Structure 1
Amino acid sequence: MKPAPGTAKAPILEARDLSYTVDGRSILTEISVSLRPGLVHALVGPNGAGKTTLLRLLAGELAPSSGAVLLEGRPVSAYSAEELARRRAVLPQQTVLQFMFRAEEVVWMGRYPHLRDRRRVPADHHAVVSQAMRSTETEHLAERPYPLLSGGERAGVDLARVLAQETPVLLLDEPNASLDVRHQMLVLELMRRLANEGAAVLAIVHDLSLAASADVVWLLNRGELVAAGSPDTVMTAAILEQVYRWPVTVLRRPDSSAPLVVPLLPGHVPVSVSCRVEDEGGRMNGPDAPEKEGGQWIGCSSSSTG
């Protein structure tokens, strides 16, 4: 169930005019977004749009070139690492561990920010870890070495670690990756449950139809925020075709009112996608134009026959 209109709370995490540059190359440009408790936010966009960079900036893992990130009204840079770990949990795309930690030990890492004396662990901490592994259906992996797990099994254990951290903000980078259909739906269910319990949840999602189950969608392209708002507002065929440079049909899910985004198959519908980049003289047109430097990206249009 989504929050009723008019019940949105004040933002807990904000980006204000956020820009990020590496070696003179602009990765993100003047991004302003806010994360609100009780809502699921989906961050979508093509490969290389800047999604992971934005998430890492929000997490305080990267310092912006300009602009600010505020967590509960304070600059994220003002928090110590331990303070941050008690307020926001981060699920990276991939966790690399060099040692043969057991899966349960990896989940326990989520409790470390809350433990003052790790030699004496209260019983309620054990309960939190057990519940996190049950929620992600990973309890049967507890004694297995983490590096020997499959990609999907590691993803479940990593998510359990984030749940065990018990923070008011969750920043998840592709939590559905490497998962089968059942476990993808389980992740959506967990995100909704956490939001209903008051957490602010942000997830990078590549499957647009899964992203449409969120309350708020942010659409990035080439380092800029193209659209932000409800799934109905952001996920229109016109917007998605321009950003992804591919024709889509937007339907309605049979089990809810959320948009269902269906890319058209190239084998059935021949597609021509044209894009424009213009310099001062209006030149540099063509399908490869967006990759050229020195011009302004204007947009794409698609046409299909058959």
Structure 2
Amino acid sequence: MTNTTPLSLHCEALHYRVGARALLKNVGFSAGAGQFIGLIGPNGAGKSTLLKTLAGLWAPSAGKVLLNQQSLPEWPPRARAKTLALLAQQEAPAWSLSVRALVALGRLPHTGSLAVALAREGNLIDLALTAADVAHLAERTVDTLSGGELRRVQCARLFATVADIWLADEPIAALDPLHQLHIMQLLKTKAETGLVIAALHDLTLAARFCDRILLMNDGELIADGTPTQVLTEDNLARVYRIRAQVQHSADGVSIVAQAPLTQSDLPTTTHAHNANLSGQ
């Protein structure tokens, strides 16, 4: 791809099946530079499956993904990794290595080896460590970290990729409020020039920082629009099965969950309103 190709990620009629179970059902949307998209929905809605499919880790059962207008499977793996990076859900480290080394793994698409990354990419690695507020942990081994510390280190690895597109699966899971705000601001700053799609469970933070929300449920894209359009009391009742108070102010949207709903309490229509902004 040339540098003049506009940054874009497009998926069309995506399906993903495991045996008889459909994890994605006809999902489609387009996104480009300048967007911070919050991917929301209850547990099992298909958020992680969608991110892995967009990243090319899982091949869809049907449909297609286009990265910068080129089919994702046509991209050489190393070129794709330089353009698009995935932060997966938090996982325990498979082996003991230093924080600095883990963050340096984000440079592998550029250097080809961890040793070269550590030897030549020190400044960039330091910037990523500082951005995630883990520079003081650089020489610790990752198996000695708390859950929140490890998540910030994994975020630093994502930052070190400097890829144009960041796909982040629950990037603020296990973080304290200070670091939740800090990481969300860094993602928003990245989206000023790149594209960020993040799976999030904190709806108020999603509403505050994201300019666009994709609401998923049972493998389907239910609604796509601004936080105000998507995060309605009706949508939250239908998808999350909760009674919630949605408040609008100059600072954005805030959501207070009040009570679970029974089947008889749910709205009668099948799907939430789709704001039809997928062509943004």
**TM-score, length-normalised on structure 1?**
0.81
Q: Contact 1:35/1:201 (CA < 8 Å) preserved in 2?
A: no
| 1:263 aligned partner | 257
| 1:82 aligned partner | 78
| 2:19 aligned partner | 23
Q: Contact 1:35/1:202 (CA < 8 Å) preserved in 2?
A: no
The structure whose RCO (Cα within 8 Å, separation 6+) is larger is 2
Alpha carbons of 1:122 and 1:298: their partners in 2 closer, same or farther (altered >3 Å)?
closer
Deviation at 1:147, TM superposition (A): 1.4
The structure 1 residue matched to 2:29, chosen from 29, 33, 56, is 33
Deviation at 1:273, TM superposition (A): 4.3
Amino acid across the alignment from 1:248? A
Q: Contact 2:108/2:117 (CA < 8 Å) preserved in 1?
A: no
C-alpha distance in 2 between matches for 1:216 and 1:204: 12
Alpha carbons of 1:76 and 1:210: their partners in 2 closer, same or farther (altered >3 Å)?
same
C-alpha distance in 2 between matches for 1:11 and 1:121: 26
Indicate the RMSD between aligned Cα atoms, in angstroms. 2.3
Output one character per residue of 1:142-186: Cα deviation in whole Å (capped at 9) or x when no partner.
010111111000000000000001100000000010000000000
C-alpha distance in 2 between matches for 1:162 and 1:93: 12
C-alpha distance in 1 between matches for 2:217 and 2:115: 48
C-alpha distance in 2 between matches for 1:228 and 1:191: 20
Moved over 4 A (4+): 116-124
Q: Contact 1:12/1:71 (CA < 8 Å) preserved in 2?
A: yes
| 1:210 aligned partner | 205
Higher helix share: 2
Deviation at 1:80, TM superposition (A): 2.6
Q: What is the percent sequence identity of the aligned residues?
A: 35
User: When the two structures are aligned, how many residues end up with a matched partner?
Assistant: 266
Q: Contact 1:19/1:28 (CA < 8 Å) preserved in 2?
A: yes
SS at the partner of 2:73? helix
Stretches of structure 2 that go unaligned for 5 or more consecutive residues are 273-280
Deviation at 1:119, TM superposition (A): 5.8
Alpha carbons of 1:120 and 1:65: their partners in 2 closer, same or farther (altered >3 Å)?
closer
Stretches of structure 1 that go unaligned for 5 or more consecutive residues are 1-8, 279-296, 301-306
Alpha carbons of 1:11 and 1:34: their partners in 2 closer, same or farther (altered >3 Å)?
farther
Output one character per residue of 1:80-134: Cα deviation in whole Å (capped at 9) or x when no partner.
3212210111111123433210000000001111115766569872111101111
**TM-score, length-normalised on structure 2?**
0.88
Does structure 1 residue 153 correspond to structure 2 residue 146?
Answer: no
Deviation at 1:253, TM superposition (A): 4.8
